[in-house]
Amino acid sequence: MRLPLFLFFMLFASSLAAQKYDWDDFVEEYTSDVERAEEEDLQLHLQELKELSEHPLNINTATVEDFLQLPFLSEAQIEQIHAYIYLHGQMQTLAELRLVPLIDDVTRRRISLFVYAEPEKKEEDKRLFSYLRNDFSSRLDIPLYYRLGQQQENSYRGDALYHRVRYTLGNNRHFQAGFRMEKDAGERFYDSYGAYAMLHDVGILQRAIVGDYRIGFGEGLVVGGNVWNSKSTPTLKTQGGIRPMKGMDETNFLRGAAVTLSLGKHINLSTFASYRKRDATLTNQGEVQTLLTSGYHRTESEWERKRNVGSTVLGGNVEWYNKGFHLGATGYWRKFSRTLNPGTQQYRAIYPKGSSFGVIGLNYGYTRYRFSFAGETAYSSVGDGWATINRASWTIARNYIVSAVQRFYAYQYYSFYASSLAENSNAQNESGVLLHLQAEPLTGLQLTAYADFFHHPWPRYRMTHSSTGQEFMLQGVYTFSSQHSLLARYQLKRKENADVMEPHHRVKLQWTCEPSAKWRLQTTGSFHSVLGNNGFLFSQNARFMLAKPNLTFNGQLGYFHTDDYMSRIYLQQPALYSTISSASYYGHGVLGVLTCRWQSNNGKWMLEGRYGMVRYFDRDEQGSGLQAILSPWKNDLSFQLRLKI
């Protein structure tokens, strides 16, 4: 019986291999709903995923903690994969995922980039420093224009070039170390840097990190940062513990040491400690008015705000898992070297005040076959505030998943490291309910819909009273064949701004065509209407791949016309490897992007170049302040080199 089944699986594997799905396809599909130009968290999230794709997991030996690194896998799906292997033995090929009840076509396509199927080896190399690999990358951005800050005296202290370097050393399982440094455009030298060293899966030591790291436990209500939150793909699993800091974000990380211990089969204990200095604007009395997050040190005033307040953090987490249940507690204490005093404006009155803060939370959950429930409730010493988030997901059938997320973040609650589903940027001053549906009613048709209802009891920025809002989205992707697919999306968002309700209507149509293994064409039309102001953008993408030499070209041309800034339109653009590029356009103009990537046959060398262009027809200059460009043209060049040995 096993042999016919094996042949059946191999037939499926051949069909899967014929439909090539690579990293660029994953990034485009996974981030298709992103509507913001600020992508720092998502950039870091993608960097961690890219690292995992280059060191894939053996699906037969991967643990729950390993699978939790994949954001598109729910707890129920992880349980089903383990149940299948327990009942039927180790997978011989990933095509067997077709027989796992809750794994749909989209998930199977995505997971193929991060796992492989291979019988477990009885004797595994336990040496910490065996099979070490070096990974070095360097990126240089060259603007072909001058900003006002480069032309005026006593403005930007450095040149207009952007440069970053990243290096990692490690093996697949037990050891990894890394180093990074960055110079922003306008800065005089490299003033952002960091390093880490990590041990993983060594005895009871599940993970230990010295240097820069990120943390995320429970639902992210106390500390979060290891799961990307999106309404179109709501968070369906807990955060992933401690992770090394690999990206270039200058704000959202800790610096010190963190460790996670496995105390038996069902209990994990984590502790972390950090000390680092932060940029801040100070009052005349030397108190902190605003903690800055831009990381820029280009001008004398920005230099004066550089790292002028110290921050000490101590905390920990304990988690218990058993038979689908999980229960955990997380807490931290944070001490600043200066007192926080955010000011007297009404919207800032709920910001944290003082110098010492504490937050503690309890997370809980249960997963059983098609049903998953989880939540977290937390308390902060800032204002004696409470917050809770609870979610439930039910897989009605393989192709039908309904879920709901309830959240209540009191305006008195505040956690500096929270990262949970929210309309605002912080998990504070918000309550709401998100309903979500994912369905495949017909072969080739994937539907996604959500409705989010939210309320802000305390007046937000530019508001004089409490406010409410709603957001609705319906998206359909129909795959006609292996060569043609059509995406259609409608989104309505009603949110008050400056005491006026603003209804935003957004429509997106996208046709994707792959006439051959070498070509991929994509035509996109976007429309945005708000308060009678309209905007549209039309773009055409083309990707061309050559096997010999190993070259990939990716180009985009676009035309946009909007009535004003409110009706601006966001567009994803071709980007360098392991990054994402998104920009907003308003006014009247054209845009163009061209990338070229060469990779050696042995995969050790990669060289990339990117050219970006914007030409405005309705203005002779763009930007404002020191960032202003006194021309309707904007041209940029970027280069990236990567070496893996």
Same domain, 144 and 116: no
- With respect to residue 207, please indicate whether it lies within any of the assigned structural domains: no
Higher local confidence (pLDDT), 208 or 102: 208
Question: How far from the centroid of its chain's Cα atoms is residue 458's Cα?
Answer: 28
Q: How far is CA 633 from CA 144, 152, 341, 570, 630, in A?
A: 9, 20, 42, 19, 9
pLDDT band at 12 (very low <50, low <70, confident <90, very high): very low
- With respect to residue 238, please indicate whether it lies within any of the assigned structural domains: no
- With respect to residue 128, please indicate whether it lies within any of the assigned structural domains: no
What local confidence, expressed as pLDDT, does residue 2 receive? 43
Question: How far from the centroid of its chain's Cα atoms is residue 618's Cα?
Answer: 34
What local confidence, expressed as pLDDT, does residue 538 receive? 97
What local confidence, expressed as pLDDT, does residue 229 receive? 65
Higher local confidence (pLDDT), 186 or 235: 186
Same domain, 625 and 549: yes
What local confidence, expressed as pLDDT, does residue 53 receive? 81
The answer, yes or no, to whether residue 545 has pLDDT greater than 70, is yes
Considering the chain, what percentage of its residues have pLDDT values greater than 90?
55
Higher local confidence (pLDDT), 16 or 288: 288
Same domain, 101 and 145: no
Looking at residues 76-103, what average pLDDT do you find? 85
Q: Under 8 Å CB-to-CB from 161, ≥6 apart: which residues?
A: 140, 141, 142, 183, 185
Same domain, 118 and 144: no
Does the global pTM surpass 0.85? Answer: yes
pLDDT band at 582 (very low <50, low <70, confident <90, very high): confident
What local confidence, expressed as pLDDT, does residue 336 receive? 96
- With respect to residue 620, please indicate whether it lies within any of the assigned structural domains: yes
- With respect to residue 376, please indicate whether it lies within any of the assigned structural domains: no
Q: Which of 105-119, 422-436, 463-477 has the lowest mean pLDDT?
A: 105-119
Token pair recorded at residue 61: 């030996």
pLDDT band at 92 (very low <50, low <70, confident <90, very high): confident
pLDDT tens per residue, range 324-341: 899 999 999 999 999 999
The SS3 call for residue 345 is coil
pLDDT tens per residue, range 243-282: 899 888 888 899 999 999 999 888 999 999 999 999 999 9
Same domain, 25 and 114: yes
Same domain, 565 and 633: yes
Q: Under 8 Å CB-to-CB from 494, ≥6 apart: which residues?
A: 469, 470, 471, 501, 502, 503, 504
pLDDT band at 14 (very low <50, low <70, confident <90, very high): very low
The answer, yes or no, to whether residue 17 has pLDDT greater than 50, is no
Looking at residues 105-109, what average pLDDT do you find? 82
- With respect to residue 130, please indicate whether it lies within any of the assigned structural domains: no
- With respect to residue 347, please indicate whether it lies within any of the assigned structural domains: no
Look up tokens 């009404």; give the residue.
346
pLDDT band at 590 (very low <50, low <70, confident <90, very high): very high
Would you tell me the crossing angle of helices 23-30 and 40-54 to the nearest 10 degrees? 150
Q: Which of 37-41, 174-178, 323-327, 541-545 has the lowest mean pLDDT?
A: 37-41
- With respect to residue 13, please indicate whether it lies within any of the assigned structural domains: yes
Same domain, 11 and 98: yes
The whole domain housing 15 covers: 1-30+56-123
Higher local confidence (pLDDT), 29 or 615: 615
Same domain, 150 and 87: no
What local confidence, expressed as pLDDT, does residue 509 receive? 96
pLDDT tens per residue, range 117-166: 887 665 555 566 777 889 999 999 999 999 988 888 778 989 999 999 99
- Please list, residue by residue across 184-200, b when 16 or more beta carbons sit within 10 angstroms of its beta carbon and e when fewer do: bbbbeeebbebbbbbbb
Query: Are 96 and 87 a contacting pair, CB within 8 Å?
Result: no
The answer, yes or no, to whether residue 27 has pLDDT greater than 80, is no
Mean pLDDT of the chain: 87
Q: How far is CA 388 from CA 327, 364, 406, in A?
A: 15, 11, 8
Considering the chain, what percentage of its residues have pLDDT values greater than 70?
92
What local confidence, expressed as pLDDT, does residue 235 receive? 58
- Please list, residue by residue across 368-379, b when 16 or more beta carbons sit within 10 angstroms of its beta carbon and e when fewer do: eebebebbbbbb
Same domain, 13 and 96: yes
What local confidence, expressed as pLDDT, does residue 11 receive? 39
pLDDT tens per residue, range 224-253: 876 666 777 765 566 778 989 988 888 889
Same domain, 524 and 603: yes
The domain total for the chain is: 2
Same domain, 66 and 101: yes
Higher local confidence (pLDDT), 119 or 356: 356
Q: How many of the other CB atoms lie within 10 Å of CB of 602?
A: 8
